[in-house]
Amino acid sequence: MFFNRLQLIYGHRFTLQWPDEKTIRLARREWAGEVDALSWEQLETALVRAKAKLIEGDADFYWPDVGRILGLARDRRSAAHQTFQKVLPEGDSVKQSRLKAARKGMARLRSILGGGDAQ
């Protein structure tokens, strides 16, 4: 049921990711434990939320990512895995080197385009 719904929601992208019955069977087997651990209501919640994110244009849900979609079954409205925020702030030396590189690149671009005041 879960993979059938994914196919209906994602259409051609589902077919590109799992092009034949053999790869679909392998994916079903791989994710069977996680899918079976959820109730019908939780699976429906995950699929509805995934479809909403797809409609909103959320790039994380452009392709059928089973782990992310199953993560939406929880009461949270975020995916199962997320990137962490940086713990330490960038140092001044990093900021200065980036600023220097940006200025150098802009000066080169100005000189190529024939703009005045190339530094």
Average pLDDT of the residues in 17-31: 95
SS3 content of the chain, % helix, strand, coil (to 5): 65, 0, 35
pLDDT of 40 over the 60 cut: yes
* Arithmetic mean of pLDDT over the chain: 88
**This model's pTM is above 0.75:** no
pLDDT, one tens digit per residue, over 50-70 is: 999 999 999 989 999 999 999
Question: Where exactly are the structural domains of the chain?
Answer: 2-71, 90-119
What percent of the chain lies above the pLDDT cut of 90? Answer: 72
Q: 6 with 64: CB under 8 angstroms?
A: yes
Among 24, 26, 31, 22, smallest CA distance to 10 is for 24
Distance of CA 5 to the CA centre of its chain: 20
